[in-house]
Amino acid sequence: MGIFIEDLLNFGNLIDAELEIRLTGEELGKAYPDLNFDIRDGILRILTRKKVLFMSKSQEIRLSDADCTVRKDRETSRQWAFFKMLSRDGLEQVQKLEGFSREGEYLGIDVMKAVVLTDTYEKIPRQFRDKLLISRCKIGRDYLSVFFRFEK
């Protein structure tokens, strides 16, 4: 779905509209340069490197979108997507980074850091960017789909 300035001017047209922004592993990597992201067949893998003496060991956290929940933090304008953790190797290192949060069996990622780097976000007029409200997310074959609605 494309967003047209006419729709934005007639804000009523956007009340039920849902905008999908697809994020690749490379785009997530630009937002979080200390990590590598790999998305394959519905699994989001976060790859980290841990230095042990003179060698480095790679660690991997696997995430699934089963029971994925989303939330917007009004105070900080962060929009979180919480994914179910399938593996936790390297979780301590990821939790130390800004933009990640753990709640029980779920790892939350602030997706807005990557969304603001996309072309789709750049096409939205500035006065409506703060009205984006995350509604759901889904891990595809090789991308992460984040869906937004416009709040009143």
Per-domain boundaries in the chain? 19-150
Token pair 């130390």 is found at 96
Rounded Cα distance, 54 and 146, in Å: 39
**DSSP labels, 106-126:** EEEEETHHHHTTSHHHHHS-H
Average pLDDT (111-116) is: 95
Q: What pLDDT band is residue 29 in, cutting at 50, 70 and 90? A: very high
* Average pLDDT for the chain: 87
Q: What is the pLDDT of residue 24?
A: 95
Q: What is the per-residue pLDDT across 60-113, written as a single tens digit (0 to 9) for each?
A: 999 998 888 999 988 888 999 999 999 988 898 899 999 999 999 999 999 999
Q: What percent of the chain has pLDDT over 90?
A: 57
| pLDDT greater than 80 at residue 50 | no
Of 4, 27, 36, 9, which Cα lies nearest the Cα of 146?
Answer: 27
| pLDDT greater than 60 at residue 59 | yes
Q: Choose the weakest-confidence range: 2-16, 38-52, 61-75.
A: 2-16
Token pair 């785009």 is found at 27
